[in-house]
Amino acid sequence: MGASLPALLRRPAILWSALAAALIAAVAAVLLVIPDDSGDPDYLDASLPIDERVDDLLGRMTIEEKVGQMTQAAVGAVDPYPGDIAELGIGSLLNGGSDALRSTPEEWAAMIDGYQRRALDSRLGIPLMYGIDAVHGNPAVPGATVFPHNIGLGAAHDPDLAGRAAAVTAAETRAAGIHWTFAPCVCVARDSRWGRTYESYGEDPGPAFEYAGPVVQGFQGEDLAANTSVLATAKHFVGDGGTAYGTSTTEEYLLDQGVTTLTEEELRSIHLAPFEAAIDAGVGSVMVSYSSTDLGDGPLKAHADEYLLTDVLKGELGFDGFVVSDWQGVDQISADYAESVRTAINAGIDMVMVPFEYQDFITTLLTEVDEGRVSEDRIDDAVSRILTQKFALGLFEHPLADTAGAGDVGSPEHREVAREAAAASQVLLRNDGDLLPLSGDESIYVAGSGADALGRQLGGWSGSWQGSVEAVNEGTTILAGIEEVAPDAAVTYSERATEPVEGADVGIVVVAEDPYAEGVGDAGAGEHDMLVSEEDAAAIETVCGAVDCAVIVVSGRPIEIEPHLTEVDALVAAWLPGSEGTGVADPLFGLTPYDGRLPVSWPRLVADEPLNVGDEGYDPLFPYGFGLQTA
C-alpha cells in the first residue's frame, strides 16, 4: 500500500528536496516527447497537400470520432438533439424528401450554418457536409431553376448541355449553403415500368457513359471549394435499372429494390460502364443501390457486396472517393442490425445514410470494432476518404455558407439554360401533313391535364420526394409558354375540353402523368399505370376529332398512347421538361427545331415491357433513337 499523507509530512526535508528534483526531471522528460501544439495543427494548414492534412487529422482522432464521421443523419432526426452533432462528431446531415424546406437560399444557409457551428464546437472542429437530392436543379429552394429530368436530357443527345445544367444546379445549391448533391443518376433503365425511369439517360449505356463525365464536371467545377461547386454522387451502384418485375424486397414495389440477374459481361457492358466515366471525371462519392445482383450464385444486396464495392469499384476502377449507402439501405441486409452494419462496412461502405437511429448505428459500429469484427484499418480507410472530400470542398477554411450567389438563383440567365434544355429534349414522333411547327397566328384550342400544371411538368423530386400536382416551385407552364412564344395566336384553354372547339384552327392536347418517384411510381404498384387518364383520353377524342391537332405527352417514361392516335396528326414526347414551359413551346412554333431522339424504346402496350433495342422480336411503337426533325 502507499504511504499515508501524515507519514509523508513527517519525512526529512532532504527527502522533499529529492522528490522535488525527481518531479522536475520527470516533467522535463515529458516535455521532450510532447510536440509543441502552440501553433495550428497540420490539418488546419491549407498550404499542405490534402493527403498530409488527412493523415494528421486521422492520427488525432479517437475511434468514436471516426465512427461519427461515417454517420449521416436526417436533419429532422437531430433537431430534437442538436448537441449530438458535436458530442457524437456526426459527419454529415441530409435533407430527406419529407424534411422541412426553407423559403430562400439565405434561410437555407442560416439553417445549415446553425448545424455547422455545432460541428465546429467539437474537440477537433471537423465541419460537416450537408447533402440533398438536387437531381434536376434544386427545387427544394423555392424559385430555383428546374431542368428536365435525365430522360429528357438523354433525348437531347447533348452531354455539354447537360453539363451546363449541372453547373447551374451546383451554383444554386451551393448558394443555399448545401455542399453535396446526390446526383447524377447514371443508371441504365431496362424496363420503363420502373418508377425511376426518368432518372436515367436511357435504356442503352451509351448516353449515360457520355453524360457522366460532363455532368460530374458541371457539378464539381474546376475547384470543388468554389462557391459555385458541389460534391457529385454517381448512383446507384450498380445495376438498379435492370431489376426484374416482381422481385422487389419491399412488397408494394414491383421493380424498385428488386433483383438484377445477368452475366458478369452484361453487368460490365451495360451497368458498370457509366460509373467508369464518372470516376474518370473525378466524382467524389458513389451511392449504393437498393437492388440485389445475381451473377449466377443467387442474389446479393449491393449494400453487402464486397466484390462489387471493394474489389471492382475501389480496386479495379480505382475510385478514391467515398461510398455512401442509400436511405436505410444498410438495414435491409439482415434482420440482425449488428450483422447488417458489420457486413456493409466490411463490404466497402464508408458513410451510412442511417438516417434516423444514428445513436444506435454509432453504438453498434463501435461494438463491432471493439469486438474485432470490423478492423480499425477499415474504419481509417473510410474516414480518410470522407475527410479528403471535406478538405477538397474547402470546408476547413470556409465552413459557413457563402451566399454571394443567392441573387442568381432562378435568374433569367439560369432559366435560359433550362429553357434551352427543355426545347432540345422534345421528340417529334408523328407529324402528318407537316402540322408542326405552327405559324403562331392561328386560333389554338389547348386542353389536357398537363397544359397548365407546373407540378406535372416538374415530376418527382420537386419540392418533395414524390413531387405534387400543386407545385411549390416557380416556373412557366406549357400553356403560359405557348402564350408567350405565340403572342399573336388566339388561345382558348379548357383542361377537359368542355368548351366548344368549333372555330379553332388547330388543337393542342397536353396529356400527363401525375408526379411520382421511386417505388410509388412503379407501374402496377398503385395509381401509376403508364396509361392515358380517362380525362385526357376524352380530351384527345374531343379535340382531335374536331380539328387538326397535336398531342404532347408529359411523362417520365413512354406511356400506352397507340389506342388514342387515330385522329392525332402530330405527337410529341415532352418528358418532364422542368420549370420552363416555354422550352416546350419553342419548337412547337419553330423558334428551335425538333431534334430530340428517343432514349428508350416506346412500347405499343405496357405489357410489352421490358422492351429494349436488340431484343429478339423487337417491335416497338417507336424504336430507340427515333425522332423526326424539323428545320
Cβ neighbours for 622, distance < 8 A, ≥ 6 positions apart: 429, 558, 598, 601, 602
In 3D, which of 442, 441, 580, 561 has the Cα closest to residue 511?
561
Nine cell digits for residue 14: 532532504
pLDDT tens for each residue of 453-464 = 999 999 999 999
Contact predicate 516/466, CB 8 Å: yes
Contact predicate 467/523, CB 8 Å: no
> What is the pTM for the complete model shown?
0.93
In 3D, which of 356, 357, 361, 278 has the Cα closest to residue 323?
278
Contact predicate 630/593, CB 8 Å: yes
Count of CB atoms within 10 A of residue 13's CB? Answer: 7
Contact predicate 568/549, CB 8 Å: yes
Count of CB atoms within 10 A of residue 306's CB? Answer: 15
Helices and strands (H, E) in the chain, number of each type:
21, 17
Q: 412-518+527-608 in CATH: which number?
A: 3.40.50.1700
pLDDT, average across residues 287-305: 98
Domain ranges of the chain: 48-401, 412-518+527-608
Contact predicate 429/572, CB 8 Å: yes
pLDDT at residue 49 greater than cutoff 90:
yes
Beta strand segments in 424-522, E: 427-431, 443-447, 490-493, 506-512
Task: Please identify, in words, the CATH class of the domain defined by 48-401.
Answer: alpha beta
In 3D, which of 579, 504, 569, 516 has the Cα closest to residue 168?
579
pLDDT tens for each residue of 297-332 = 999 999 999 999 999 999 999 999 999 999 999 999
Answer whether 48-401 and 412-518+527-608 agree in fold.
Answer: no
pLDDT tens for each residue of 365-416 = 999 999 999 999 999 999 999 999 999 999 999 999 999 999 999 999 999 9
Residue 376's pLDDT is what? 98
| Alpha-helix residue ranges (DSSP H) falling in 11-142 | 13-33, 50-60, 63-69, 75-78, 84-87, 105-120
Nine cell digits for residue 100: 422541412
Residues tagged active-site: 326, 518
Q: Sign of torsion, CA 590 592 597 603?
A: negative
More confident residue, 513 or 20: 513
pLDDT tens for each residue of 166-176 = 999 999 999 99
CA 483 remoteness from chain centre: 33
